Chain A
Amino acid sequence: KAGVTQTPRYLIKTRGQQVTLSCSPISGHRSVSWYQQTPGQGLQFLFEYFSETQRNKGNFPGRFSGRQFSNSRSEMNVSTLELGDSALYLCASSSWGGSTDTQYFGPGTRLTVL
Chain B
Amino acid sequence: DQQVKQNSPSLSVQEGRISILNCDYTNSMFDYFLWYKKYPAEGPTFLISISSIKDKNEDGRFTVFLNKSAKHLSLHIVPSQPGDSAVYFCAAIVSNSGYALNFGKGTSLLVTP
Which A residues contact B (CB, under 8 angstroms)?
A: 4, 31, 33, 35, 41-45, 48, 55-56, 58, 90, 92, 94, 97-108
Contacts and interface: CB of A to CB of B under 8 A. Distances in A.
Given A43-B103, A48-B99, A56-B98, A99 B43 contact: no
Contacts of B105: 41-42
Helix, strand, loop or mixed for chain B's interface?
loop
B101 interface: yes
30 contacts: A4-B43, A33-B99, A42-B89, A42-B104, A42-B105, A42-B106, A43-B44, A43-B101, A43-B103, A44-B103, A45-B102, A48-B100, A90-B43, A90-B44, A92-B43, A94-B99, A99-B32, A99-B94, A99-B99, A100-B49, A100-B51, A103-B99, A105-B36, A105-B44, A105-B45, A106-B43, A107-B41, A107-B42, A107-B43, A108-B43
Among all A-B residue pairs, the 4 with the closest Cβ atoms: A105-B43, A99-B95, A42-B105, A43-B103
Interface in B65-113: 89, 91, 93-96, 98-106
